[in-house]
Amino acid sequence: MDYIEINNDIITYRGSEYQYETYEKIDDMCVHIYMGNGIYAFMGNNTTINNILCINADEIISHLP
């Protein structure tokens, strides 16, 4: 399970803070999030944002800044 906290444009992931840049929807379940000079893949049913389980890519996107 991936746990993300978002506050304004700052994403806290695995104990580090990243500046949010943009995202790319890969398919109905996967989103690539560009943050802090890196690209990270997040999957529906495996990603929690601000303590809310996101069940698909659209829910992940709806929680982004």
Q: Report the pLDDT value the prediction gives residue 61, as an integer from 0 to 100.
A: 98
Question: Each residue of 50-62: pLDDT tens digit?
Answer: 999 999 999 999 9
**Six-digit token string for 59:** 């829910």
Question: Each residue of 3-45: pLDDT tens digit?
Answer: 999 999 999 999 999 999 999 999 999 999 999 989 999 999 9
Q: Report the pLDDT value the prediction gives residue 44, as an integer from 0 to 100.
A: 98
Using CB atoms within 10 Å of the CB of residue 45, give its burial: 0 to 12 exposed, 13 to 18 middle, 19+ buried: exposed
**Six-digit token string for 11:** 């994403």
Q: Report the pLDDT value the prediction gives residue 54, as an integer from 0 to 100.
A: 98
Q: Please answer whether residues 5 and 62 qualify as being in contact, where contact means their C-beta atoms are separated by less than 8 angstroms.
A: no
State the total domains in the chain.
1
Range of the domain at 40: 2-62
Per residue, the 3-state secondary structure of 34-63, as one string, reads: EECCEEEEEECCCEEECCEEECCHHHHHHC
